[in-house]
């Protein structure tokens, strides 16, 4: 008898829970096609109508879907972009529907084009960052070859700029495919430190005084709270190539190229 009740309960519960599941999970694809595709295009690559929008065209979704954070997408979709055709969707869509539409956008894929990235970099970025990305143009532009930023952080910097510096927001100067291509290109310029060379340079230039990297002592006030390993690359580079240390270690150290210092630092940090 008890068993029978259980079975009946189970049978009753089954169709109920199925109905529930489809009610609870909004269909991101359907929502996208009904609410977004008129401007962004069915496949996210922007419709004819979306391209002609003023003051700014609708933006390509595949090229941003993997490199812009979910939080940023949610903010844009929920609150819109002021002064553009991208209106706030919080009146049309439930929060869960917005998440579902983001999930759908995230299924779009994009293959970066490095050749286009290089071309656009040279046109738009090299005046400040130099053709080789190493900066040094006197405008305070970062050396991108030694940058620590990951792909998403590079994209974020490109889209929004750095307030208070000459690095302005590029989101309206570059299309999303351009931003994606340029960001991949910037990442491809990154210097890969050579540990083996670092070891050799250490033996040649440093070992006579510092028998091993772990024996190097910082000098000055910072030494009290800071360990060598805590120094950023930039500070460690400065300490190796400039200031008091150079007087003791000799001009030899000062003449190391910046790539050689990168190799050395990689070796020192490894010890």
Least distance from ligand HEC to the Cβ atom of residue 179, Å = 8
Per the listing, tokens 């989101």 go with: 171
CA–CA distance, 130 with 135 (Å, rounded to integer): 5
CA–CA distance, 256 with 244 (Å, rounded to integer): 16
- Considering only 166, 196, 203, 234, the residue that binds ligand HEC (CB under 6 A) is 166
Please compute, for residue 3, the number of CA atoms within 13 A of its CA located in the half-sphere on the CB side.
Answer: 0
Site for ligand HEC in 55-114 (CB under 6 A): 56, 58-59, 64, 73, 76-77, 81, 84-86, 89, 101
- Considering only 67, 100, 167, 266, the residue that binds ligand HEC (CB under 6 A) is 167
Cis peptide bond N-terminal to 262, omega within 30: no
Long-range contacts of 126-132 (CB under 8 A, 24+ apart): 128/166, 128/167, 132/189
Least distance from ligand HEC to the Cβ atom of residue 32, Å = 6
Stretch that binds ligand HEC, among 5-13, 108-116, 189-197, 209-217 (CB under 6 A): 209-217
CA–CA distance, 144 with 83 (Å, rounded to integer): 33
Please tell me whether residue 17 binds ligand HEC under the rule CB under 6 A. no
CA–CA distance, 131 with 216 (Å, rounded to integer): 36
Least distance from ligand HEC to the Cβ atom of residue 158, Å = 5
> Where do contacts with ligand HEC occur on this chain (CB under 6 A)?
35-36, 38-40, 53, 56, 58-59, 64, 73, 76-77, 81, 84-86, 89, 101, 121, 124-125, 127-129, 139-142, 144, 147, 149, 154, 157-158, 162, 165-167, 170, 176, 182, 186, 205-206, 208-210, 216-220, 239-240, 243-245, 248-250, 253, 264
């Amino acid at each position: 008898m008890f068993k029978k009740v259980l079975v009946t309960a189970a049978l009753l519960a089954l169709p109920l829970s199925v109905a529930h599941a489809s009610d609870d999970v909004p269909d991101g694809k359907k929502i996208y096609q009904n609410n977004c595709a008129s401007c962004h295009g069915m496949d996210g690559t922007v419709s004819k109508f979306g391209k002609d929008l003023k003051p700014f065209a609708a933006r390509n979704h595949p090229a941003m879907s993997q490199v812009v954070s979910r939080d940023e997408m949610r903010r844009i979709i929920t609150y819109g972009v002021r002064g553009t055709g991208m209106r706030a969707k919080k009146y049309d869509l439930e929060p869960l529907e917005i998440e579902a539409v983001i999930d759908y956008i995230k299924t779009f894929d994009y293959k970066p084009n490095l050749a286009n990235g290089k071309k656009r970099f040279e046109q738009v970025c090299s005046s400040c960052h130099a053709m080789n990305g190493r900066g040094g143009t006197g405008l305070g532009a970062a050396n991108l070859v030694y940058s620590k930023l990951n792909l998403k952080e590079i994209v974020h910097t490109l889209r929004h700029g750095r307030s208070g510096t000459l690095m302005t927001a590029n989101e309206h100067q570059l299309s999303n495919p351009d931003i994606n291509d340029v960001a991949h290109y910037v990442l491809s310029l990154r210097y890969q430190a050579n540990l083996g060379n670092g070891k050799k340079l250490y033996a040649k230039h440093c070992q006579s005084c510092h028998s091993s990297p772990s024996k190097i002592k910082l000098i000055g006030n910072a030494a009290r709270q800071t360990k060598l390993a805590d120094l950023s690359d930039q500070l460690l580079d400065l300490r190796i190539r400039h200031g008091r240390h150079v007087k003791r270690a000799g001009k030899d150290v000062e003449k190391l190229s910046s790539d050689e210092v990168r190799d050395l630092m990689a070796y020192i940090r490894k010890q």
